[in-house]
Amino acid sequence: MKQRVYLDWNATTPLRPEARAALVAALDICGNPSSVHGEGRRAHKVLQDARAAVAALVGADPETVVFTSGATESNALALSPGVHRPASPPVKRLIVSAIEHPSVLTGGRFGREFVEIAPVDRSGVINLVELARLLANKPPALVSIMLANNETGAIQPIREVAELVRAHGGVLHVDAVAAFGKMNINFKSLECDLLSISAHKIGGPKGVGALIVGDDLRGLEPELRGGGQEKGRRAGTENLPGIAGFGAAAKAVMTTWEQHARHCEILRKRLEAGLKQAGAVIIAENASRLPNTTLFTAPGLHAETAVIGFDLEGIAVSSGSACSSGKVQPSHVLEAMQAGPEQVRGGVRISLGWETTENDVDRALEAWRKLAGTLVKKKDETVLERF
Ligand code: PMP
């Protein structure tokens, strides 16, 4: 049996040893971080250390970190009608880009029917002219744009978006989940008001994340009410083991992400050259992209079948986002990029990580060459035979 090769790092990452150790150690802490006795104070210290580490990784102040159960919850908390900047009225409108994660596209507490969609161009980058048009001559809006797209890896011009949103008195939320740990993220210099991140994308445990809430944001309604945890912004006794694991992963990423980004970029170049040699087309190739992400297609390729084909060769890849794979659905990201019907159903994503080796990439290329050789045309429908 060939060894498995995991090339789906945008879906999730393996738990880092530091994160595992911190998580296991926190399981033995009996205190509640809200209690004033020694046991409680010990738990509180673990919580605050993790908060400081997570804040440092995204250039934010520790007090602005609200721990959540993951970025789905962070996004739901962020998309709150009534938020506003001090001198502006509460927002009543929500504008999101067409390539957002489903947890944003569904509109949070605004509801789907209130979502206004900002289009992207053919390389999957937000169209700033259209965004400006949506913002102009109307009441201020909450705008939610991701820092990088999880399917294509295309990095979005958040500074320019922030300038536009501020000029119109709006509030900016950034889903930084796909970019987290793969590029420099600085909450303050991005000039956004809210930023979502998730631990399991950086080698932390699943089921824990954070929302960074800017100091001068007003009107954020908690989704979960109860105890006063997280300064009243998210009630419930904290998931201390998860948060401790998140903090340890953040500390590790702080000193290693640049080296890992370079490592991934070198491997991605090798991967893309090999894929193209065997007939693949790289999607959003000329956009500024995350260093680890490749989305590709080929005439006649059916993504779901290809993912199974790769899997049979021992290689884990994905068709678009993990959250929507499992269901045979065209990619909403590729649709938003106005890709043709063949491309929309044919996008295969390979995403690399810090443990990926040259040999892993070569194994994927070997599988791709085999797969590409079996693509045959049948009348007007193209299918993939045997693999
Ligand atoms: N946003 C993006 C861009 C994501 O890729 C994901 C995870 N697939 C989420 C949000 C949701 O994060 P979580 O899994 O922590 O709920």
pLDDT in tens, 10-55: 999 999 999 999 999 999 999 999 999 999 999 999 999 999 999 9
Using pLDDT thresholds of 50, 70 and 90, give the confidence band for residue 377.
very low
Domains defined along the chain, listed by start: 5-13+257-379 (3.90.1150.10), 17-251 (3.40.640.10)
What is the sign, positive or negative, of the torsion defined by CA atoms of 270, 276, 282, 287? positive
Q: Which helix (H) or strand (E) holds 117?
A: strand 115-118
What is the sign, positive or negative, of the torsion defined by CA atoms of 109, 114, 120, 122? positive
Greatest CA span in the chain, whole angstroms?
74
- Within 8 A by CB and 6+ apart from 88, the residues are 140, 169, 170, 171
Q: What number does the ligand 1 atom closest to the CA of 146 have?
A: 3
Q: Given this model, what pLDDT does residue 85 score?
A: 95
Q: Given this model, what pLDDT does residue 381 score?
A: 46
What does the mean pLDDT of the chain come to? 93
Mutation test residue for ligand 1: of 243, 295, 323, 349, the one with most atoms within 8 Å of CB: 323
- Reduced to 3 states (helix: H, G, I; strand: E, B; else coil), residue 366 is helix
Output the residue whose Cα is nearest ligand 1's atom 16: 72
Using pLDDT thresholds of 50, 70 and 90, give the confidence band for residue 382.
very low
- The closest of 380, 237, 319 to 8, measured between CA atoms, is 319
The mean per-residue pLDDT over the stretch 88-94 comes to 95
Q: Given this model, what pLDDT does residue 164 score?
A: 98
The mean per-residue pLDDT over the stretch 256-270 comes to 98
pLDDT tens, residue by residue, 160-217: 999 999 999 999 999 999 999 999 999 999 999 999 999 999 999 999 999 999 999 9
CB-defined site of ligand 1, < 6 Å: 70-72, 101, 103, 146, 150, 175, 177-178, 198, 209, 322-323
DSSP 8-state assignment for residue 379: T
Question: By the 8 A CB rule, do 156 and 288 touch?
Answer: no
The answer to whether residue 316 scores a pLDDT higher than 60 is yes
Q: Given this model, what pLDDT does residue 323 score?
A: 55
Q: Given this model, what pLDDT does residue 376 score?
A: 55
Mutation test residue for ligand 1: of 149, 177, 195, 200, the one with most atoms within 8 Å of CB: 177
pTM across the whole model: 0.95
The mean per-residue pLDDT over the stretch 107-125 comes to 95
DSSP 8-state assignment for residue 264: H
- The verdict on whether 192 is a catalytic residue reads no
Q: Across the beta sheet with 348-351, what order do the strands follow?
A: 281-282, 293-297, 348-351
From CA 103, how far away is CA 101, in angstroms rounded? Answer: 5
- The closest of 290, 292, 214, 202 to 245, measured between CA atoms, is 202
In this structure, what token pair is assigned to residue 79? 């998309």
Query: For the packed helices 303-312 and 358-372, what is the interaxial angle rounded to 10 degrees?
Result: 120
What is the sign, positive or negative, of the torsion defined by CA atoms of 115, 120, 125, 128? negative
